[in-house]
Amino acid sequence: MVATVKRKRIEILVDNPLVPKIVNYVKKVDISGWSVIKIASGGGRDGRWQQDEVSGAAAKSIVLLIANEEKAQRLTDALAPLLDSHSLLLTIANVEVVRGDRF
Amino acid sequence: MVATVKRKRIEILVDNPLVPKIVNYVKKVDISGWSVIKIASGGGRDGRWQQDEVSGAAAKSIVLLIANEEKAQRLTDALAPLLDSHSLLLTIANVEVVRGDRF
Amino acid sequence: MVATVKRKRIEILVDNPLVPKIVNYVKKVDISGWSVIKIASGGGRDGRWQQDEVSGAAAKSIVLLIANEEKAQRLTDALAPLLDSHSLLLTIANVEVVRGDRF
Amino acid sequence: MILDTLTSPVILFFILGFFAACIRSDLAIPEAFAKAMSIYLMAAIGLKGGVEVASTGFSVDLAAAAVSGVLLGFTLPILAFILLRSFAKLGAIDAGAVAAHYGSVSVVTFVTAIELLTATGLRPDGFMVGVMALMEIPAIITGLLLARAYSKRLKESEEADTEGGSNLMHEVLTNGSVILLLGAFIIGFIAGAEGFAPIEPLFSVGFKGVLCLFLLDMGLIAARRLLETRKITISLATLAIVLPIINGTIGTVVGTLIGLDPGSAAILGVLCASASYIAVPAAMRLALPQADPGIYLAMSLGITFPFNILFGISLFAAIAKFLG
Amino acid sequence: MILDTLTSPVILFFILGFFAACIRSDLAIPEAFAKAMSIYLMAAIGLKGGVEVASTGFSVDLAAAAVSGVLLGFTLPILAFILLRSFAKLGAIDAGAVAAHYGSVSVVTFVTAIELLTATGLRPDGFMVGVMALMEIPAIITGLLLARAYSKRLKESEEADTEGGSNLMHEVLTNGSVILLLGAFIIGFIAGAEGFAPIEPLFSVGFKGVLCLFLLDMGLIAARRLLETRKITISLATLAIVLPIINGTIGTVVGTLIGLDPGSAAILGVLCASASYIAVPAAMRLALPQADPGIYLAMSLGITFPFNILFGISLFAAIAKFLG
Amino acid sequence: MILDTLTSPVILFFILGFFAACIRSDLAIPEAFAKAMSIYLMAAIGLKGGVEVASTGFSVDLAAAAVSGVLLGFTLPILAFILLRSFAKLGAIDAGAVAAHYGSVSVVTFVTAIELLTATGLRPDGFMVGVMALMEIPAIITGLLLARAYSKRLKESEEADTEGGSNLMHEVLTNGSVILLLGAFIIGFIAGAEGFAPIEPLFSVGFKGVLCLFLLDMGLIAARRLLETRKITISLATLAIVLPIINGTIGTVVGTLIGLDPGSAAILGVLCASASYIAVPAAMRLALPQADPGIYLAMSLGITFPFNILFGISLFAAIAKFLG
Ligand SMILES: Nc1ncnc2c1ncn2[C@@H]1O[C@H](COP(=O)(O)O)[C@@H](O)[C@H]1O
Ligand SMILES: Nc1ncnc2c1ncn2[C@@H]1O[C@H](COP(=O)(O)O)[C@@H](O)[C@H]1O
Ligand SMILES: Nc1ncnc2c1ncn2[C@@H]1O[C@H](COP(=O)(O)O)[C@@H](O)[C@H]1O
Ligand code: NA
Ligand code: NA
Ligand code: NA
């Protein structure tokens, strides 16, 4: 049986133009990496939207991160002031990472 | 330390043409928003498939939702009759949402 | 209230050219299906990267699987030797699957 | 004509795609590119059809072809339904869904037929584009009515799902390809030859080349569909060839009887023979989610489409010539 | 000219897209295809502009147009800001963001105007492409300064977020569309007519046809934006029509005063009248994330863009002709 | 010729892309569009090559070039491997992977070279397209054999992973770009000049323009790769320039010796000098996942590709002219 470690899986839903800003914070708290997934369409209080690259400013992505509890905490603390002004959606879940000591 | 609330993270794997139908149910149970992620390829009992927009009818997406337990329950109850006929795959996980009182 | 079962949600982050190899393992341990999500961009110890199909070899995907605990265990055992050499990132989370007895 | 067909680059690219998928090559056309090409092809044929009708004016032929097309769209699924239930033993839901596909039309088969027929001197009338657009929808209605009439399971679940009906009608009538075809047709008609001239280069220079690349993709898709399917029985495969032959022959005969020139009669045959794989599958996922996409896509894309491209078009051209 | 405009295929495709979205059709242009078309269009106009300047050389007109364009870009947002705050009661942050959009320019409106003006004999000078590229940025600066000057909330949060400023300046100056436009302009200038000849076919044959398909997509996007928005009040909608009329008239008058030919004066008017929906929204998400994208996108894409395409261009052409 | 090269729009677009990435502009070509352009370019050169061979027939030159190309593909990686291990101190696995890249070929370098050589009167033979397709694969085999022969770690892990071998051979032989190039070549050959005529417009009108936009993207990709890498040492960077010079000179000399005209000899040199960044990286991820993509992509895409485009092609043309 292979060893697993407990880590946090963080998802940050964010407007595409703001992804680099989020990544800067990720680096600051020294998380080892990140992955970006595009959202194709969605809806919320502002009505529904679809990806359209013509005016990509309204399109969104998810920044996906695996990190240990302490770094996860530091990241959420750092991002907290932006949550409202940048209308981010930040969720944290528990995952087991296989041989994941480097995260 | 920033405050978090416990919410449900719901993923519904569904054929693209049925996404608007699912979204209608989401609105009915008054969940605040939804995000759609495209699946690039996959496989199951019916063999493997790839996204191809020429005949997009067989392509699939994931509808991603963050909601409180009660709304999650209402949504799954509402969708239950469709699970088999529309071959949906519906999973629910626990997440912490940062400053997520509006969900 | 509709019935749910406890299952594992496995995410495997992998380079695109290796996806078919992973899928072979998935089939060997008899998991019923799989779904592939493209990663648009990311970064890690090797610097940041963006999807570009011109040289798609460096682009990555997530293989998403829902399986019961036993199959999840068999899959992770089977993949363990590849984790380092193929630099996979394998996470396992708990989910409730609605009417998911077939997984 | 068969030989001409099989050595035309358009068809050779289709064969290349089919072959590549059969040897499990990783050759792939990005989906956005395929979709772009299909939008381009639909805009181009719509425009050209409209420009042509603008110069010839509306005619009795046009009206006759349009009415026949719509009637054939409504009625052909009935025959298909009977054969699917009796010969292939399909349930009512799957039979209704498949029948809808065979009553509707395939835009790419149509475009390829136009090219091949024009190359052999059987140029069809421009208004046939409009007829095609009209033929996309009726079969969906017949297919659904048949499925509902003969399936008990469906009747019960319908009562629960009340909003379905109006949604579906809306979805079908506002279907993207119908809107684009008819819209481009009308734009071509309004603009006329003179207004069309400035934008013509894009739509004429690229047309045949784009069709080649598009058929390359269709070859890949058709073969992959066929290889991956686990739902095709021998009787279903047989029907996927017999149905286009029957429908196509009926269409060609009707076309000749209502006085169309041989090219247009052959095209009416091709439209009847072809099976939808865009508009109808999407409508069926919505309206008959219980029907198995594995069946209808494998039949229409995996068998009937290649059959029509490689043999059907030549067959109906021969019949039309013989009758005309 | 209005009638010519409304029956040109380019415009008809825009109307088709708008109509399709209004009846909630699922017609969609893949985003990668739309982006590809916009890259093609920008490369094409950049190249053509550069080639033209290479043959005519730099002129006083060019310098005058460039300087006026930049000055207009800096000053027009002030008027917009005042009207948005007083008439539409917007907060300083939202008003600053919207004002930046109206001071900047829309590439597609520009390209469409070039086509329509050339077709009616009012061919603008090639260097106007360069002027357009220069006009993308100044309004962003004014808009941000206004928002900062008048919003207390912003002043406080600015102090926390220190890295913002330099990042933004970099983002704005290296904006993809600016680089592509100016880069293609310079390449056209270096290559000249002779060097351009081998690559010209792609960029001239396809141009108008691609513009049609692109405007089809813009129609879809504009209408969907308008239908989905919940943020547009009557006074905002009014301003989305009044602002382009005011700005466009100012631009056309300035163009005439500095001695541009009527075509170029009209284009300067169109540039002033048009509102950005690519560069500026992205900059605003970054620099003023508190501003509501629902407001500025609905105004610029949903109302001003269609207004300019359908009426504005003709209006400023008429003014320029009248003055010239 | 260097100056001609550096002011040709094709190259200027490459430089524009490189520059935009260096100043960290967000300019980006959608990946689907880039892939579409590469499919278009490969189909076009395959078709043209096939049509040309159909009219000239098979010749001794063709056979000699094909045999030489394949032999060079098998042997050049050996030299590269030795240099990579001794001079750059790479481990056997990484050295094998990099060597495979340098023995294989880059389609875009080939296409660009064809354009530049033709423009300077050194038009290469049509059959060189076929030679290029044949040269994609052999180096992969040599590279893997070298890695296996010299790496202990690999030998052990191989024994565990049994299915690898046959999978890889299949993957490499059915590689999408090989199938498309050879397939289009055969289609061109079957169709001949006459059959090609109807589809020619798309493939000739757009060719050079598409190459411009494609090289814009390659510039972006090459520079980003170079900027992001953390794996390139000075000796690796040196080899990324020395290897193409050595390989290219060998290729040009061999081409001249077997009696090719100067244009074709130069192209053989370019093929030897160029390093793969599509087929081989994918094969290496599969067959040598332990090799570091950071090294081979940065060398082949980030350094060798720009070097060949800007200087290498001119260099081998000069050598071929001097020898021929
Ligand atoms: N902590 C992480 N969270 C999410 N994705 C990651 C993480 N670390 C690495 N990745 C992804 O894995 C890729 C390779 O990482 P690396 O092996 O560290 O270069 C990166 O480009 C990311 O897409
Ligand atoms: N409850 C939710 N679950 C998933 N995604 C959401 C949810 N609420 C909002 N979103 C996403 O966030 C975007 C902006 O939401 P809002 O700020 O409510 O307009 C939406 O368009 C969705 O893509
Ligand atoms: N166990 C699974 N995990 C993840 N995705 C699945 C799973 N089973 C099925 N799928 C997805 O659902 C689609 C339909 O599955 P099926 O209904 O089994 O043919 C597949 O093509 C996959 O994309
Ligand atoms: Na039919
Ligand atoms: Na403006
Ligand atoms: Na080489």
Q: Smallest Cα–Cα separation from E18: which of E212, E221, E303, E213?
A: E221
Q: Look at phi and psi of residue C47 and say left if phi exceeds 0, alpha if psi is from -120 to 50, else beta.
A: left
Percent of chain E clearing pLDDT 90 (strictly above): 73
* DSSP state for residue D170 in the 8-state scheme: H
Nearest CB neighbour to B47, from listed D34, D38, D229 = D229
Contact E91, E248 (CB under 8 A): no
Q: Which residues of D218-248 are buried (b: 16+ CB within 10 A; e: fewer)?
A: bbbbbbbbbebbebbeebbbebbbebbbbbb
Query: Residue type at D36?
Result: A
**Residues, chain F:** 324
Ligand 1 centroid distance, CA of A18 (Å): 19
Name the pLDDT band for D21 (thresholds 50, 70, 90).
very high
**Across D16-38, average pLDDT:** 92
> Which residues place a Cβ less than 5 A from the ion ligand 6?
F 272, 274
Range ranked top by mean pLDDT from B15-24, D76-85, F32-41, F54-63: D76-85
- What's the average model confidence in pLDDT over D246-271? 97
pLDDT band at C54 (very low <50, low <70, confident <90, very high): low
Pairing label, strands A4-15, B89-98: unpaired
Which residue is associated with the tokens 């395929």?
Answer: D34
Which pLDDT score is estimated for D99? 97
Question: What tens digit of pLDDT does each residue of E185-194 get?
Answer: 999 999 999 9
Q: What is the residue with the minimal CA distance to atom 14 of ligand 1?
A: C44
pLDDT of residue D158: 58
Q: Beta-carbon neighbour count of residue E78 at 10 Å? A: 16
Q: CA of B64, closest CA in chain C: separation in Å? A: 13
* Touch between F and B (at least 3 CB pairs under 8 Å): no
Distance CA A52, CA A60 (A): 10
> pLDDT value at position F166?
67
Contacts of B61 in chain A (CB under 8 A): 40
pLDDT confidence tier of residue E266, bands split at 50, 70 and 90: very high
Whether D19 and F184 have beta carbons less than 8 Å apart is answered as no
Which of E25, E27, E32 faces D32 most closely, judged by CB atoms? Answer: E32
In the three-class reduction of DSSP (H, G, I as helix; E, B as strand; rest coil), residue E288 is classed as coil
Judged by DSSP in three states, E98 sits in: helix
Integer CA distances (angstroms), E250 to D241, E241, E254, E304, F190, in order: 68, 15, 6, 16, 63
pLDDT range class, residue D267, cuts 50, 70, 90: very high
Encode pLDDT of E155-172 as tens digits: 666 555 555 566 777 878
Question: How many CA atoms does the CB half-sphere of C92 hold within 13 Å?
Answer: 24
Across the interface, whether the CB atoms of E8 and D195 are under 8 A apart is answered: yes
Q: What is the mean pLDDT of residues A19-23?
A: 92
pLDDT at D317 over 80: yes
Residue C71: what pLDDT? 95
Contact between residue A84 and residue B2 where contact means Cβ atoms under 8 Å apart: no
Whether the per-residue pLDDT at D186 is higher than 60: the answer is: yes
Ligand 1 centroid from CA C48, angstroms: 9
pLDDT in tens, D131-172: 998 999 999 999 999 998 988 777 666 555 555 566 777 878
Q: Is D220 a residue whose pLDDT tops 60?
A: yes
Mean pLDDT of C64-86: 91
Residue D228's pLDDT band, with cuts at 50, 70 and 90, is: confident
Q: Which of E11-15, E127-131, F158-162 has the lowest mean pLDDT?
A: F158-162
| For range B70-80, the mean pLDDT | 93
Do residues F284 and F109 make contact, with C-beta atoms less than 8 angstroms apart? no
pLDDT at F156: 64
Query: Measuring CA to CA, which residue among E201, E51, A62, E184 is closest to residue F27?
Result: E184
* pLDDT higher than 60, residue D277: yes
Residue F53 has pLDDT above 80, yes or no: yes
Longest dimension (CA), chain D: 57
| pLDDT at residue D153 in the model | 74
Query: What pLDDT score was predicted for residue D7?
Result: 83
Ligand 5 centre to CA of E284 (Å) is: 16
Percent of chain B topping pLDDT 90 = 58
What residues are in contact with ligand 1 under a 6 Å CB criterion? A 31-35, 64-67, 103; C 13, 39, 42-46, 49, 60, 87, 89
Rounded distance between C-alpha atoms, residue C60 and residue C40, angstroms? 8
Give the count of alpha carbons within 13 A of C1, CB side only: 8
pLDDT surpasses 60 at F162: no
pLDDT at position F161 over 60: no
The answer to whether the beta carbons of residues F50 and F184 sit under 8 Å apart is: yes
Residue E249 has pLDDT above 80, yes or no: yes
Q: For A40-68, what is the mean pLDDT?
A: 82
How many Cβ atoms sit within 10 Å of the Cβ of residue A6? 11
Report residue C7 as tokens.
């299952």
Atom of ligand 1 nearest to the CA of C46: 19
Mean pLDDT across chain D: 91
Q: Are C29 and C71 in contact (CB under 8 A)?
A: yes
A 30-89 → C contacts, CB under 8 A: 32-38, 61, 66
**Mean pLDDT value of segment D78-93:** 96
Quick one: residue B100, left, alpha or beta (phi over 0 = left, psi -120 to 50 = alpha)? alpha
* Closest-CA residue of chain D to B41: D31
Are the beta carbons of B76 and C95 separated by less than 8 Å? no
Q: Which amino acid is at F188?
A: G
Residue-wise pLDDT tens digits, D47-74? 999 999 999 888 899 999 999 999 999 9
Cα–Cα dist A35/A64, whole Å: 5
Three-state secondary-structure class, residue B50: strand
Alpha-helical (H) ranges within chain D are 2-7, 9-22, 31-56, 60-86, 92-103, 107-119, 128-135, 138-150, 152-160, 164-173, 176-196, 200-205, 207-228, 234-257, 262-273, 279-287, 293-297, 305-307, 313-323
Q: Which of F74, F107, F80 is nearest to F246 (CA)?
A: F80
Is D in contact with A (3 or more beta carbon pairs below 8 Å)? no
Does position E309 have pLDDT exceeding 70, yes or no? yes
Q: Which two three-digit tokens encode residue D248?
A: 């196509």
Kindly report the nearest CA distance between residue E194 and chain A, in angstroms: 33
Proximal ligand: closest to the CA of E308: 5
The predicted-structure confidence for B32-68, as pLDDT tens digits, reads as follows: 899 999 999 998 887 777 776 566 677 899 999 999 9
Residue E163 pLDDT: 54
C-alpha F176/C-alpha F35 separation (Å) is: 12
Contact E297 A52 (CB under 8 A): no
pLDDT higher than 90, residue E175? no
pLDDT at D35 over 70: yes
pLDDT at E106 over 80: yes
Q: Which chains neighbour A (Cβ–Cβ under 8 Å, 3 or more pairs)?
A: B, C, E
**The tokens of D271 are what?**
């439209």
* Ligand 1 atom closest to Cα of residue C39: 23
- A52 and E31 within 8 Å at the Cβ level: the answer is yes
D25 contact partners, CB below 8 Å, separation of at least 6: F174, F175, F176, F179
What is the model's pLDDT at position A39? 94
Which pLDDT value is given to residue D190?
Answer: 95
* 3-state SS class at C62: strand
With CB atoms and an 8 Å threshold, state whether D31 touches B51: yes
Residue type, A21: K
Task: Please report, to the nearest 10 degrees, the dihedral formed by the alpha carbons of residues E253, E255, E261, E266 taken in order.
Answer: -70
pLDDT tens-digit readout, F3-31? 777 889 999 999 999 999 999 998 989 88
Tell me, rounded to whole angstroms, the distance of Cα F149 from its chain centroid: 26
Mutation target for D interface from F45, F51, F180, F181: give the one with most D CBs within 10 A. F180
State the pLDDT at residue E279.
Answer: 83
For ligand 3, residues with CB inside 6 Å are B 13, 39, 42-46, 49, 60, 87, 89; C 31-35, 64-67, 103
Determine the pLDDT at residue C58: 74
Higher pLDDT among residues D4 and F268, named by residue: F268
Inform me whether the pLDDT recorded for C1 exceeds 80.
no
Helix (H, G, I), strand (E, B) or coil at F269: helix
Q: What is the mean pLDDT of residues F121-147?
A: 92
F62 CA to centre of own chain: 19
Q: Counting Cβ atoms within 10 Å, is residue E39 exposed (0-12), middle (13-18) or buried (19+)?
A: buried
> pTM for the complete prediction?
0.93
With a cut of 90, say whether residue C31 has pLDDT above it. yes
Residues of chain E contacting residue F119, judged by C-beta atoms under 8 Å apart: 198
Residue D59 CA to residue E283 CA, distance in Å, equals 56
Confidence (pLDDT) at D299: 95
Interface subset of D 107-146, CB within 8 angstroms of F: 119
Q: Is E174 on the interface with F (CB under 8 A)?
A: yes
The pLDDT of residue E125: 92
Q: CB of F187 within 8 A of CB of F46? A: yes
Pocket perturbation via mutation, ligand 1, pick of A23, A31, A35, A74 by most ligand atoms within 8 A of CB: A35
Question: In Å, how far are B38, E105, E117 from E316, measured between CA atoms?
Answer: 44, 15, 10
Min Cα–Cα distance to chain E from F134, Å: 29
Residue F159 has pLDDT above 60, yes or no: no
Average pLDDT over residues A9-32: 93
Which run of H or E residues covers position F206?
none
> Tell me, what's the pLDDT at D143?
94
Cα–Cα distance measured from residue E11 to residue E19, given in angstroms and rounded to the nearest whole number: 12
Q: Tell me how crowded residue F39 is: count the other CB atoms within 10 A of its CB.
A: 22
State whether residue A92 is helix, strand or coil: strand
